[in-house]
Amino acid sequence: MRLNGAGIMVEQAWRRIPHRFAGMELDAYVVMPNHFHAIVFLGTDPASTPPALSTIIGVFKSETTVEYGRIVKAGPVPRYHRALWQRSFHDRIIRNERILALAREYIADNPRKWHER
């Protein structure tokens, strides 16, 4: 999977998120043509209160939507219909190393499986 300019912008925005919020770390992630998967660790800094996942995702979606709009105005990517991101997001708590390994594997395999559709 090779990212286009919009995909690169989404990836860069995601990588900036830890600089905005204390007490969190990024783990595996993948930018796909029409969705995004990521693992986030919250509560990694005992000296700070971790942000709510909904806050992190809200900021990420907001920043990428604004930036995508700028890219659209410049012309190299198509406009989106109604919204760039869906209204909500799917999350789950990873409670042990086995489930973490499975989630990382799922993320790593997602681009290959996309081409199998």
Domains and CATH numbers, the chain: 5-115 (3.30.70.1290)
Structure tokens at 22: 């204390």
Read off the pLDDT of residues 7-26 as tens digits, 9 standing for 90 and up. Answer: 999 999 999 999 999 999 99
pTM of the model: 0.89
Q: At what angle do helices 53-74 and 5-20 cross, to 10 degrees?
A: 140
> What span, in angstroms and rounded, lies between the C-alpha atoms of 52 and 34?
24
Read off the pLDDT of residues 59-98 as tens digits, 9 standing for 90 and up. Answer: 999 999 999 988 888 877 778 878 889 889 999 999 999 9
Q: Which residues contact 16 (CB under 8 A, 6 or more apart)?
A: 63
First CA to last CA distance, the chain: 14
pLDDT classification of 117: cutoffs 50, 70, 90: low
The DSSP call for residue 57 is H
